[in-house]
């Protein structure tokens, strides 16, 4: 009944159906048979309090602490009865602690309110009544058509309708969601992609049916029903059509999208945890001791009260001559007198739980937190950022951390890829100052001289290279060498999904073709930072990728333009671990260029320097570089006709489409000729390796939780020292069912048990982790505990928090710490015992929602080993001193008060300060 009322009032959106129906531009049917669904508004709320509930809610949270509640009871008792001590002795310190804590928490929540108001009040443009209307983000409704310009953040989860491109595509970065700063491509359905003006969009009549909100960032299913010329066209919608709140539009002037999830139902909001008040382990242990002492206190009070009435059982001691009872005292109820005496003894003995201890601890935490901000060793000169303390209650917790969970992108790495080396036809080269230099003595070299390939005239100088002392070959071999290098860098420049910014800083050109620009003026965007680094390296060598459209790719080779017809793109997937493009060269040849991990490319090669390249790839990997192999294949017209037919059938299949595509891709990507390999360095942040090693030496286990792909994550773990080359790397990836996952976990546990010498590292992906946590938590935890390092990849934000919670509730109850730099890390930062945010471009929200904020990962060791250890020693010493002092020392004042209370009925004059002096 109450749920129905709340739904009718709009407070409880009805989710009785598994799907929701959204009328674009809120054009509801006119037949009157449809009742519009009620959706929540677009406000984001991260604050805990309001003006109206701050006082009661904050007091409730503070008095949930055992110490505060106990001192409140003592204070009330002192007010109700005639006690041996003044109520001020308990009330004033309690009021001080409550007030200081309330002010601190109120200020922190005020900052969160400001952040929410900034987000909810951001200006947006919505299509209404045939025009663009400027409004605030919080006013967006489900079904509204929203206009987003370049570099703006999406204010809600939108289904893409159109962009300024004819094919309806756009590019976004999702660093705030999954930590990846790479460019991702999204496309609109063909029927709406052509609607590029407000007038055309305002005439659109369409309905979207999709699933109810869920937290999975990578899953979305729906369909769009478009009414055109008295007929309905149905188009499927998938993740490629969904633009998530928090993502940023890149390399596209503007897009139009329809809001389908708003406010706290967006995927970003569903991946956030509500901020709860954290308690340190020392405070929890103090509460445990407090309960024990409270039992002792109550026992003492009961025993003393019983002994008092036993003593007064004899008439001569019940009413001595020096303390005659009043008439009211003689006629009062014995039960009330017993209760009053019990409470009086309770107040007398309450010093066993010293309120001064809690006041001192609170002041030490509050004032001591300033030392973290003042520490020059935690100051980052380049950015001018110092450490920040957002929660002073956890200072001592820093010194007890047993598990560190860290994000990768932006936390361990700078996420800036740089091309370092390559292997071409069995020869190794490294880039030095924009030049390719052969590495080490080359064949037929007498002196081991080094020659180089100039970045400005690479291909022309190949003939000079082959005639140098290092390459004394025949004219036929010279031509062959030039062609091999030419083909290798063409493959690098064509086998990718890189896009070029439409708007240049100097305003030159706004279309896909930028052939009049110098390579340094081109701004590349890529779905992978590796691709961007490789295309930029090829441009420095002399083969410049100029741009592409839906059907054409253009490169400039030493100033000469060549256009390649783009026939097909075989997209990358985690199973194949490679991607390919099929192009038609200007000469008419049909070529396939493939790029991927050596484990997926080399087994499919039938030609080229396979063994030499394999050795070079291993050498690159030992240096911590990320490697990719390049290969090609040439098709005859008959072969291409067969391939084109198979691709069309697989891509239009309604049943088992993914399986059919995988089979066709495997049929195409075989019999390859190996061209070589590339090695790219993902720049680590300063002193990351040393910091991780210091944590490991301190006995702290380090887990890396990232949204990146498997290969990328493993490569970075190796380069930063999280994984060692001598480790036995175990994998739990691509699991499809519970039984398969359980079997794999059992095999991993057996392997660990049989080998007691080698250190093990575990790699698990998000899908497999979900299966492992569903029914096999104990087995999974057993495997993890026996591994020196754990790497979790393809993780959704909420999954990161679930992993930390799994460790927190394990039987050992270890202290956990989470460190991240983006909004996608907020959930795990708030879940861990201690949350640390890395301050940076994408780290503002992480820093604001963390307990501590530092400028770089390298400062973590100083924060834990110095400040955390010192604060733990200070707090532990204070607790030990106060409990020892109050339990073991009985003062003369206490002895006199106890005598007076035990032997007299009236407290009126017995406990005045003058009584002590008498």
Please identify every residue annotated as catalytic. 407
The Cα 52–Cα 498 span in angstroms is 52
Instruction: Please report, for residues 309, 372, 813, the alpha-carbon distance to residue 798 in angstroms, rounded to integers and kept in the order given.
Output: 61, 30, 21
The Cα 406–Cα 804 span in angstroms is 11
Evaluate the CA torsion angle 145, 146, 149, 153 in order and state its sign. Answer: negative
The Cα 294–Cα 298 span in angstroms is 6
Closest C-alpha among 768, 788, 790, 772 to residue 780: 772
Q: Which value, to the nearest 10 degrees, does the dihedral of the CA atoms of residues 628, 634, 639, 645 take?
A: 50
Q: Angle formed by the axes of helices 334-349 and 66-80, to 10°?
A: 130
Q: Judge contact between 875 and 282, C-beta under 8 A.
A: yes
Residue 321 φ then ψ, to 5°? -65, -25
Give the residues across from 73 on adjacent strands.
Answer: none
* Beta strand spans in 433-508 (E): 435-438, 499-500
Give the residues across from 703 on adjacent strands.
Answer: 405, 790
The Cα 189–Cα 194 span in angstroms is 9
The Cα 208–Cα 220 span in angstroms is 12
Instruction: Please report, for residues 240, 438, 685, 848, the alpha-carbon distance to residue 390 in angstroms, rounded to integers and kept in the order given.
Output: 38, 53, 24, 8
Give the residues across from 224 on adjacent strands.
Answer: 208, 235
* Beta strand spans in 604-727 (E): 605-607, 626-635, 672-684, 701-705
Structure tokens at 363: 């002041």
Residues 6 or more apart in contact with residue 710 via CB below 8 angstroms: 574, 733, 763, 765, 793, 794
Closest C-alpha among 842, 837, 829 to residue 275: 829
The Cα 853–Cα 850 span in angstroms is 7
Q: Count of CB atoms within 10 A of residue 56's CB? A: 10
The Cα 562–Cα 584 span in angstroms is 11
Closest C-alpha among 897, 902, 898, 899 to residue 913: 897
DSSP string, 851-910: SEEESSGGGHHHIIIIIIHHHHHHHHHHHHHHHHHHHH---HHHHHHHHHHHH-S--TTT
Kind and range of the H or E run holding 101: helix 88-120
The Cα 750–Cα 59 span in angstroms is 52
The separation between the first and the last C-alpha atoms of the chain, rounded to the nearest angstrom, is 71
By residue count, the chain amounts to: 918
The Cα 566–Cα 550 span in angstroms is 7
Residues 6 or more apart in contact with residue 215 via CB below 8 angstroms: 267, 270, 271, 796, 797, 798
Q: Which residue has the tokens 């029914």?
A: 775
Evaluate the CA torsion angle 155, 161, 163, 168 in order and state its sign. Answer: positive
**Helix, strand, coil % (nearest 5) of the chain?**
45, 25, 35
């Amino acid at each position: 009944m109450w749920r129905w009322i709340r739904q009718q009032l709009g407070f409880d959106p009805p989710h009785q159906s598994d799907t929701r129906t959204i009328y674009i531009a809120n054009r509801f049917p006119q037949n009157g048979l449809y009742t519009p669904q009620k959706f929540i508004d677009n406000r984001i709320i991260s604050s805990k309090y309001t003006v109206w509930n701050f006082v009661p809610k904050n007091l409730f949270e503070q008095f949930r602490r055992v110490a505060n509640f106990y001192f409140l009871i003592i204070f009330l008792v002192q007010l109700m009865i005639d006690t041996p001590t003044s109520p001020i002795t308990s009330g004033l310190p309690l009021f001080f602690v409550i007030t200081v804590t309330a002010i601190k928490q109120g200020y922190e929540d005020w900052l969160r309110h400001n952040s929410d108001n900034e987000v909810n009040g951001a200006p947006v443009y919505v299509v209404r009544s045939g025009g663009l209307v400027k409004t605030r983000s919080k006013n967006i409704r489900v079904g509204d058509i929203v206009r987003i310009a370049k570099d703006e953040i999406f204010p809600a989860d939108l289904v893409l309708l159109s962009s300024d491109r004819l094919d309806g595509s756009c590019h976004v970065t999702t660093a705030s969601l999954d930590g990846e700063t790479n460019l991702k491509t999204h496309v609109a359905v063909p029927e709406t992609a052509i609607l590029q003006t407000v007038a055309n969009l305002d005439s659109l009549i369409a309905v979207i049916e999709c699933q109810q909100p869920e937290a999975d960032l990578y899953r979305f299913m729906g369909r769009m029903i478009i009414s055109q010329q008295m007929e309905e066209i149905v188009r499927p919608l998938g993740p490629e059509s969904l633009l998530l709140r928090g993502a940023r539009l890149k390399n596209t002037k503007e897009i139009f999208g329809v809001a389908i999830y708003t406010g706290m139902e967006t995927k970003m909001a569903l991946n956030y945890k509500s901020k709860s008040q954290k308690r340190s382990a020392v405070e929890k242990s103090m509460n445990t001791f407090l309960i024990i002492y409270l039992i002792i206190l109550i026992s003492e009070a009961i025993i003393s009260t019983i002994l008092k009435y036993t003593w007064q059982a004899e008439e001569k001691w019940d009413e001595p001559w020096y303390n005659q009872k009043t008439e009211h005292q003689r006629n009062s109820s014995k039960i009330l007198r017993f209760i009053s005496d019990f409470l009086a003894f309770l107040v007398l003995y309450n010093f066993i739980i010293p309120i001064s201890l809690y006041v001192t601890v609170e002041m030490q935490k509050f004032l001591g937190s300033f030392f973290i901000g003042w520490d020059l060793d935690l100051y980052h000169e380049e950015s001018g950022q110092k450490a920040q303390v957002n929660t002073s209650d956890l200072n001592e917790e820093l010194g007890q951390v047993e598990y560190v969970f860290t994000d990768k992108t932006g936390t361990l790495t700078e996420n800036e890829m740089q091309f370092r080396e390559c292997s071409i036809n069995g020869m190794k080269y490294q880039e030095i100052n924009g030049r390719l230099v052969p590495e080490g003595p080359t064949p037929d070299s007498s002196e081991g001289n080094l020659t180089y390939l100039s970045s400005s005239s690479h291909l022309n100088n190949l003939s000079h290279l082959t005639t140098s002392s290092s390459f004394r070959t025949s004219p036929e071999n010279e031509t062959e060498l030039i062609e091999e290098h030419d083909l290798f860098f063409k493959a690098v420049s064509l086998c990718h999904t890189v896009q070029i910014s439409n708007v240049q800083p100097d305003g030159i050109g706004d279309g896909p073709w930028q052939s009049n620009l110098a390579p340094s003026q081109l701004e590349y965007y890529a779905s992978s930072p590796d691709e961007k680094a490789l295309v930029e390296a090829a441009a420095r060598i002399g083969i410049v990728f100029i741009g592409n459209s839906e059907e054409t790719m253009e490169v400039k080779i030493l100033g000469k333009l060549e256009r390649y017809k783009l026939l097909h793109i075989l997209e990358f997937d985690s199973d194949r671990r490679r991607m390919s493009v099929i192009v038609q060269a200007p000469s008419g040849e049909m070529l396939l260029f493939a790029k991927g991990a050596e484990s997926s490319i080399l087994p499919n090669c039938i030609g080229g320097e396979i063994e030499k390249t394999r050795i070079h790839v291993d050498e690159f990997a030992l240096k911590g570089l990320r490697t990719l192999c390049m290969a090609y294949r040439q098709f005859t017209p008959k072969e291409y006709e067969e391939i084109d037919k198979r691709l069309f059938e697989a891509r239009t299949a309604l049943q088992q489409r993914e399986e059919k595509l995988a089979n066709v891709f495997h049929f195409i990507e075989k019999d390859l000729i190996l061209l070589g390999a590339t090695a790219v360095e993902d720049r680590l942040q300063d002193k990351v390796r040393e910091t991780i090693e210091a944590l490991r030496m301190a006995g702290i286990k380090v887990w890396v939780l990232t949204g990146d792909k498997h290969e990328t994550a493993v490569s970075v773990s190796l380069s930063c020292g999280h994984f060692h080359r001598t480790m036995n790397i175990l994998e739990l990836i691509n699991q499809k069912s519970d039984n398969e996952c359980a079997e794999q976990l059992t095999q991993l546990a057996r392997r660990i048990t049989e080998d007691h010498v080698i250190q093990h590292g575990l790699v698990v992906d998000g899908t497999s982790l979900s299966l492992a946590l569903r029914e096999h938590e104990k087995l999974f935890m057993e495997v993890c505990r026996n591994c020196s390092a754990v790497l979790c990849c393809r993780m959704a934000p909420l999954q990161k928090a679930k992993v930390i919670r799994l460790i927190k509730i394990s039987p050992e109850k270890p202290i956990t710490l989470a460190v991240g730099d983006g909004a996608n890390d907020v959930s795990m930062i708030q879940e861990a015992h201690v949350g640390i945010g890395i301050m940076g471009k994408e780290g503002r929200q992480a820093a604001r929602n963390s307990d501590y904020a530092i400028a770089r990962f390298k400062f973590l060791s100083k924060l834990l080993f110095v400040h955390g250890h010192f604060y733990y020693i200070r707090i532990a010493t204070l607790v030990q001193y106060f409990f020892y002092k109050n339990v073991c020392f009985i003062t003369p004042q206490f002895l006199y008060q106890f005598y007076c209370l035990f032997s007299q009925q009236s407290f009126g004059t017995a406990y005045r300060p003058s009584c002590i002096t008498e």
